[in-house]
Amino acid sequence: MDIGIGLPNTVPGTEPQDLLDWARQAEEAGFSTLGTIGRLVYQGYEELIALTAAAAVTSRIRLTTSVLLAPLYENAALLAKQAASLERISGGRFVLGVGLGGRDDDYAASGLSTKGRGKRFEEQIDDMKRIWAGEDRGFAGGIGPATVREGGPELILGGSTDVSFRRVAKLADGWIMGGGSPDMFAQAAVGVDTAWQEAGREGKPRKLSLAYFGLGPNARAQADGYLLDYYGFLGDAAAQVAGSAAVSADMVKSYVAAFETAGCDELIFVPTGSGLEQIDLLAAAIA
């Protein structure tokens, strides 16, 4: 199982230089990917821009939106061009993870309705894939740029319902769980694999998951401070999310073992702070 680390693009107080230093150090530490969290109504950096900055200071590590809320980007042609540009600039390292999101305020702030968003989402993905395949769209031909990976960036979809699993099988290369226990992952992974087989797809979908972490002497306070605020819209349930964060090396190790047993292909540990020591602490915990 690959182990990735999140870029602290949504952690309050993260400065632009912090993102660049974090990206460099994460690559040096040997993590498989840099992941970003998608949300509009929160103080943070937009994911495609943050990962483009990371791409400029790295050369090996994958760059994954985990996940970007695609329906907020209404212009599918423009999003396809942005994704293709980042994929090419990074030498094929970009992985486009997309989902619907779970907060109505992100849609309200965009002047969009949540009604029918699943259908719009599928149409958007179909449109982007045609663009990445080089479909003519005007006098000059296709939109471009041509991607390093044939057919466009690797496409990963989020979601936890049977409908979302069928969507993965129909449109994507893999699936990501946005949060939850290893047992929840294992159960959902069965649904994803079943949908994949029923759709007649060859091979297996790549399956990813996120897990929050915060390490060091103030780990619990750091995790609570960020997660209780970020998930405040959940009310009392925010405490459950905060409590699930890995705040010790032993918890990190147990998460790695349990997710690997559950069939996870890549586990991305999402930081609750932006101090660079978090990278080395996580690397030491999984060593």
Residue 241's alpha-carbon distances to 58, 69, 232, in angstroms, are 31, 20, 10
Amino acid making up residue 282: L
Which residue's structure tokens are 């969290």? Answer: 37
Which among 194, 153, 156, 162 is positioned nearest to 177, based on CA atoms? 156
Q: By residue range, what is the domain housing residue 125?
A: 2-286
Task: Tell me the DSSP string of 87-111.
Answer: HHHTTS-EEEEEE--S-HHHHHHTT
- Provide the token pair at 236: 């009392």
Amino acid making up residue 68: L
In the chain, what percentage of residues exceed pLDDT 90? 99
Q: Which residue ranges of the chain lie beneath pLDDT 70?
A: none
Contacts of 184 (CB under 8 A, 6+ apart): 177
In the chain, what percentage of residues exceed pLDDT 70? 100
Encode 246-263 in three state secondary structure: ECCHHHHHHHHHHHHHCC
Strand ranges inside 131-231, DSSP E? 154-158, 174-177, 206-213
User: For residue 153, what pLDDT is reported?
Assistant: 98
Q: Do 267 and 256 contact (CB within 8 A), yes or no?
A: yes
- Assign residue 264 the CATH number of its domain: 3.20.20.30
Per-residue pLDDT of 32-75, as tens digits, reads 999 999 999 999 999 999 999 999 999 999 999 999 999 999 99
Per-residue pLDDT of 177-198, as tens digits, reads 998 999 999 999 999 999 999 9
Query: CA 211 to CA 115: how far, in whole Å?
Result: 29
Number of domains in the chain: 1
Q: Do 97 and 67 contact (CB within 8 A), yes or no?
A: yes
Amino acid making up residue 224: D
User: For residue 32, what pLDDT is reported?
Assistant: 98
Helix axes 47-56, 76-89, angle to 10 degrees: 20
